[in-house]
Amino acid sequence: MERPKISLFDLVYKYGTVAVIALVVLYFSLTNPYFFTYDNIKDILRSISIVTFVAIGVTFSLIVGGFDLSVGSTVSLTTVIVASMMVWYEQGMLITLIVPIALSLLVGLVNAFLVVKIRIPDLLATLAMLYIVNGLHMTYSKGYSIYANMPMSDGTNAPGKFQEWFLWLGQGELFSLPVPVILTFLLVAITHVYLTYTKQGRMLYMTGGNLEAARLSGIPVNRYRTLAYVLSALFAGLGGMLLAARIGTGQVSSGSSMLMDAVAAAFVGFSVFGVGKPNVFGTFVGAILIGVLLNGMTMLNLPYYAYDIIKGVVLALALAVTYYQVRRKSKA
């Protein structure tokens, strides 16, 4: 039997993203001797750890056919809240972790209520939540970043400080690997297994693949859409907490830049190995590509305002290849 012919486009679609990463790494390695070193690779992986957390959250919303624009504001919210628990209120580990996680879950539930129950289009509903959550955390912090020994409104200084166990999560190392990198690897592995090999994971994909067909098959689609938005907010919240642990302050609006990087990583992931759909492993590869580009451009001393141009071009190319392939399949 004659084997099906594989076109050049099929090869580009399947392996293009990985090939681009390899070429970019090769180029930066040849232009800068410090690029392809163990320390710099650690720095790249550390820098993408938070974006990967947020991007995996975005991936969950994409899987069910939705989209979550509020992840950046959720990052900012939990960054500020977790910092205030330690610096303002001197809380222990339990409260410090539970309060921001609970608030991120609440954001996810409100998103799900607006999208699933009220049936507001996901872009509009999560855009509204973006503004609401941004306003809430700015009001809570009065627009100030939260740090140890900061001046308070009553003329005193903040009584608490970032605790060592918390800073270790963002700055520590284990087996010569940064803790955030280890946490990222664990998250990618666990979510990949969850989405690929569990019934819930398959149901999420079926819900996003064809909502009406999934409903007619007896799948509780509203429940799975709600789950996706809750997980999206949860991972964004965890990313915000990890960001606070890494920089040692609660930076207001710190999640604004995270949104676009996370979205870019998630969409670039569509084209990794020709999967053509949201997937956690592809999202991680997309985050690596963005991290490598940013690190290399920084080492080459390129102007910071060029970074968004490069990220935009990469995203546009990935989307063009992905959706061109989708149209080819639909015509076949």
pLDDT at 9 over 70: no
pLDDT at 2 over 60: no
Least confident of 4-13, 60-69, 112-121, 297-306: 4-13
Between 305 and 259, residue with greater pLDDT: 259
Three-state DSSP class for residue 250: strand
pTM of the model: 0.93
Query: In which band, very low, low, confident or very high, does the pLDDT at 269 lie, cut at 50, 70 and 90?
Result: confident
At 93-130, the pLDDT tens digits run: 999 999 999 999 999 999 999 999 999 999 999 999 99
What are the structural domains of the chain?
Answer: 38-331 (1.10.3470)
Alpha-carbon distances, residue 169 vs 96, 137, 139, 163, 243 (angstroms): 13, 23, 27, 10, 10
Q: Could you tell me which residues are beta bridge partners of residue 15?
A: none
pLDDT value of residue 59: 96
Q: How far is CA 247 from the centre of its chain?
A: 18
pLDDT value of residue 1: 46
pLDDT at 84 over 70: yes
pLDDT at 231 over 90: yes
- Torsion angle, alpha carbons of 130, 131, 136, 139, to 10: 140
Instruction: Say what percent of the chain tops pLDDT 90.
Output: 72
DSSP of 114-156: IIIIS---HHHHHHHHHHHHHHHHHHHHTT--B-TTPBPTTSS
DSSP of 63-124: HTT---TTHHHHHHHHHHHHHHHHHTT---HHHHHHHHHHHHHHHHHHHHIIIIIS---HHH
- Torsion angle, alpha carbons of 306, 77, 49, 108, to 10: -110
pLDDT at 249 over 50: yes
Q: β-pairing, 173-174 with 177-178? A: antiparallel
At 200-218, the pLDDT tens digits run: 999 999 999 899 999 999 9
Q: Which of 95, 198, 84, 93 is nearest to 138 (CA)?
A: 84
CA 114 to CA 112: how far, in whole Å? 5
pLDDT value of residue 85: 97
Cβ proximity of 123 and 70 under 8 Å? no
pLDDT at 318 over 80: no
Three-state DSSP class for residue 161: coil
At 157-197, the pLDDT tens digits run: 999 999 999 999 999 999 889 999 999 999 999 999 999 99
Least confident of 76-90, 133-147, 306-320: 306-320
Query: In which band, very low, low, confident or very high, does the pLDDT at 330 lie, cut at 50, 70 and 90?
Result: low
